[in-house]
Structure 1
Amino acid sequence: MYERILVPTDGSAGVERAIEQAAELAAVHGAEVHSIYVLNTANFASLPMETSWEGVSDMLREDGEEALERVRGIVEGYDVPVRTHLIEGSPSREIVDFATEEDCDLIVMGTHGRGGIDRLLLGSVAERVVRGSSVPVLTVRVREEDLD
């Protein structure tokens, strides 16, 4: 049923539940896992100095590589093939585009499950992916205790 499962990561501890879910599904279906970390460069485009951007960019890339390495470690523990990708752009758009272009069968991603004013003010990458993706999306609720 599944050959390629996409699991985006933001590097937070809570996303590990989604990674584990993706790895379990991949193990059952003989699928491979793709994981992406999206550098949200739009948030930093207005920095005043080019040297400041270079420092921030390096730091973000390092964070992304560390997050992808954690995904790799978790998924390989399930004896499942994993490929990781560091991408720049808008997270929700890049997740949807990657899933489509790479013929992924499923996107598994964490969500904080915010509602009301929090969702209105903070937005939700998961919600935008669900609304914009032609690929099925499985959302895994991030529990508060997972964030500690």
Structure 2
Amino acid sequence: MYQDILFPTDGSDGAEYALDHAIDLAGRYDATLHVLHVVADVWYPTGEPEGVDFDYTAVEQHLQDRGDRVVAAAADRAREAGVDCETEVTVGRTPHSAIADATEADVDLVVMATHGRRGLGRLLMGSVTEKVLRLSTVPVLAVRMPEE
């Protein structure tokens, strides 16, 4: 049923919890797990403020290095469970559009965390998962971390 499963991750506790589901499904269906981390564009939206000397390149490199560590750790867990895994860190994209675009590339399922925002926070912030649910051309399994 599933040959390629996309697991977008931000390295959060919720994503770690969702990874268990992604690994389980990939193992059951002998599917390849594609682990994706997106580093959003770090440029200041209106240009650099006057008088501010800020090294955007260093920030972007730090975020990319963190993304490399996040996908490597997820891939290690998948491989320990006997699941084939591929990793990618994408830089300079909005997370929801990068994830939605990845579903166009022969992915059968997306497994991702939802952070469970409610009320005003959800209204103002939106949700990457919610946007992916609207944009994806394949099924999306949104995994919510249990309440503690």
TM-score for the superposition, normalised by structure 1: 0.90
Which letter does structure 1 place at the counterpart of 2:124? Answer: L
Q: For residues 82 and 31 of structure 1, what CA distance do their matches in structure 2 show?
A: 9
Q: For residues 76 and 28 of structure 1, what CA distance do their matches in structure 2 show?
A: 14
The answer for the alignment partner of 1:99 in structure 2 is 103
State the Cα RMSD in Å. 1.6
The answer for the alignment partner of 2:144 in structure 1 is 141
Query: SS at the partner of 1:135?
Result: coil
Which letter does structure 1 place at the counterpart of 2:114? Answer: T
Query: SS at the partner of 1:119?
Result: helix
Q: For residues 74 and 143 of structure 1, what CA distance do their matches in structure 2 show?
A: 21
Q: Number of paired residues?
A: 142
Q: For residues 30 and 96 of structure 2, what CA distance do their matches in structure 1 show?
A: 27
Q: For residues 119 and 146 of structure 2, what CA distance do their matches in structure 1 show?
A: 18
Query: SS at the partner of 2:55?
Result: helix
Query: SS at the partner of 1:86?
Result: strand
Which structure 2 residues correspond to residues 1-148 of structure 1 after superposition, within 5 A? 1-41=1-41, 44-46=42-44, 48=48, 52-88=55-91, 89-100=93-104, 102-143=105-146
Shift of 1:17: 1.4
TM-score for the superposition, normalised by structure 2: 0.90
Which letter does structure 1 place at the counterpart of 2:144? Answer: R
Conservation of the 8 A alpha-carbon contact between 1:112 and 1:143: no
Shift of 1:121: 1.5
Q: For residues 69 and 51 of structure 1, what CA distance do their matches in structure 2 show?
A: 29
* Gaps in structure 2 of 5+ consecutive residues: none
Q: For residues 120 and 45 of structure 1, what CA distance do their matches in structure 2 show?
A: 24
Deviation above 6 Å: which 4+ runs of structure 1? none
